[in-house]
Structure 1
Amino acid sequence: MRPIQVYAFRAEPELLIQIKDAKKEDQDIQKSVEMAKSGHQSEHTVSADDILYVNNRLGVPNVSDLKQLILKEAHCSRYSIHPRGRKMYNDLKDHYWWKKMKYNVTEYVSRCMNCQQVKAERKKPVYNKL
C-alpha cells in the first residue's frame, strides 16, 4: 500500500497580507486590536488572523503607501473609471475603514489629472461684466 500525500493550499489576497504586515507599524491599530480582544470596544472585532474590523469593515493601518494602493485601485481600475470623490468614498466606506478616510479620498481625487481635465471641459466660461 502506497502512502497518501495530502497537500493543503491557502489562497490569501495580497492586500490582506500587506495589511497584516503594516499593522505592526501603526500603534493605534494595535491598541484597537487589544481593546477588541478584551471586549472594550463593541464595534471593533478581530478575525482569527488578527485583522481588525470596524463595523464589519476592514481596518486599514495608518501607512500612506497602503492607503494610496487602495485609493489607486478604487479610482483607476477598469471597473470604476475615475469616480468622483463622493461616489468613491461611498464605495470604499462599505469595505474599508481608516481615520480621515473621507479627507484622503477627496484629496486623491483632486490630484488626479484626468479628473481635472474632465472638470475643465464642463466648466462654463466666466464673462466679466464691466
Structure 2
Amino acid sequence: EREPPLRVRALVMTISLDLPKQILNAHTEARKQKNIKKEDVGGMLVKNAKNPEAIREKKLEPRTDGTQCLNGRSWLPCYGDLQTVIMYESHKLKYSIHPSSEKMYQDIKKLYWWPNMKADIATYVSKCLTCAKVKAKHQRPSGLLVQSKIPEWKWD
C-alpha cells in the first residue's frame, strides 16, 4: 500500500524594493513650495531665501533617473520616511548583523546623504534592543569609577 506522491507547484516570488521610485516621489514632495523651507538645508535647494522660486541646481546634481544627488550620493529628503527604511535595511536585515553606528554610517554614506545623518544613525542604533543586550554583555558597566583610598603615611 503505497501512498500517491504529492503534487507540488513551484511558485516564483520576486521581491523588489521600489526605492528609486520612492526617492523620486520624496524629491517631488520636498520641492513643493510649502515644503521648500523645511528641506532647504544650507541653501541646497533655493538660491535666495527671498525668492523661493529660484531653485538651485548646482549643489544637487540630477541623475538620469530624475533623483538628485550630492557628490555622487543620493539625497534623501525627510518625506516618505526613506531615512528610516534605509537605516532598517542597513541595520536589522540578516546580512548586516547589527553593525555599530560608526560602521553603519560608513556604509550608508557611500550611497546616501541627508542632513544630520550621522546623529540620526547613532540615535537609531542606540534604540536597537538587540544591540543593547549584546553590548551589555561585552562592555564594562558605564558610570563613575570608584576612587581607591589614598594611603595616609608621612612622606620624607
State TM-score, norm by structure 2.
0.63
Q: Is the 8 A contact 2:91 2:99 kept in 1?
A: yes
1:16 to 20, 31, 37: 20
Deviations 1:45-76 (A, max 9, x none): 10233210100001111137211111000001
Indicate the SS of the match to 2:118. helix
Distance 1:124 1:93 in 2: 30
Aligned length: 113
- Flag the structure with larger Rg: 2
Tell me if 1:35 matches 2:49: no
Aligned-pair Cα RMSD in Å: 2.5
| Alpha-carbon distance between aligned partners in 1 of 2:76 and 2:20, rounded to the nearest angstrom | 10
For residue 137 of structure 2, the aligned residue among 121, 126, 130 is: 121
AA matched with 2:72: N
The structure whose residues are more often helix, as a share, is: 1
Q: Give the Cα separation in 2 of the matches to 1:71 and 1:124.
A: 27
- Do structure 1's residue 74 and structure 2's residue 90 form an aligned pair? yes
Aligned to 1:111: 127
Partner in structure 1 of residue 11 of structure 2: none
Deviations 1:16-68 (A, max 9, x none): 11111112332236926x412xxx43xx2102332101000011111372111
Paired with 1:103 and 1:72, the residues of 2 have a C-alpha distance of 15
Partner of residue 63 from structure 1, selected from 68, 76, 79: 79
Identical residues among aligned pairs (%): 34
Unaligned runs of 5+ in 1: 1-11
